[in-house]
Amino acid sequence: MGILRTILALAVIVYHSYVFFGLRMCGGQVAVEAFYIISGFYMALILNEKYIGVGSYKKFILSRFYRIFPVYWFILLIALLLSLIGYYFFNHPHYIARYISNKECLSIFTFLWFCLENIVILGQDILYFLRLDEYCSPLLTHKTLSYNHTGYQYLLVPQAWSISVEFMFYLLAPFTVTKNIKWQIGIVILGIIVKYYFANFHYLSFDPWTYRFFPFEFAFFMSGSVAYQLYKFFKEKKNIHYVGYFLLVISVLVVFLFEFIQLKNQLKASLFGYTKILVKKNQVYRSKTGY
């Protein structure tokens, strides 16, 4: 699993730097949604096997908080310090450039809102659906990236929007990943249908709708939870780990050669996600059995 997650992280880096040795790899959307599936699997694992009983919800949320926020706040502080150093000594304010260039038109409410989002993380994904008008007043819109002045430009750690989406799932996970597998499969199917419907009939098939809108991505998290239920069913089967090796190789090849697969992008992304579900199931089996 570590190998696959490392390669997926590399795919995100390549996506932002365009190519790696002439390859574009699987792209940012597929990699991020693959991470959603992995997150769903591991949250189902610990919520069904570790955080059980009275007080388990509080313990689970606190464990996620302590795992994420201290590291994020450290990175946030570094980004702020580097931006201040750049502003005062090199005339290059970096991540605080928007705050400086628009300081006269930002209202106190908007300024405090953006500052709060940088601190609490939750809601940062919403800033990708926010534009600022000619008076710097925030307005929600469905085509944010077509505007020059947007809410996410005020994030000092722009990549943290995905943590906001992840944490939304953490808040809901204790009430969903412990349910019957049929109920979970129903959520996955419904989520895929909803995303497909809005992408094809309401033309919401562009960034940020493609992978930053939590209601459309919930099905990916739940797919990982379904994978956990399948893992419990298959974990006692003989030689199942060999299937995991095979699917791991296939997944790695797909990451690197994704652009050459002649299928519609949405279908490619879906098939890749389902392959990863089986990979996770078998890799967790190997880690627990020692194979």
Confidence of residue 167 (pLDDT cuts 50, 70, 90): very high
Residues 231-279 have pLDDT tens digits of: 887 776 766 666 667 776 777 777 767 666 665 555 555 555 545 444 4
What ranges do the domains of the chain cover?
A: 2-50+177-289, 72-160
Residues 212-238 have pLDDT tens digits of: 999 999 999 999 999 898 888 777 676
In whole angstroms, what is the distance from residue 120 CA to residue 95 CA?
A: 17
Whether the pLDDT of residue 58 is over 80: the answer is: yes
Whether the pLDDT of residue 286 is over 50: the answer is: no
Quote the pLDDT of residue 288.
46
Quote the pLDDT of residue 136.
86
Mean pLDDT of the residues in the chain: 83
Whether the pLDDT of residue 3 is over 70: the answer is: no
Whether the pLDDT of residue 65 is over 90: the answer is: yes
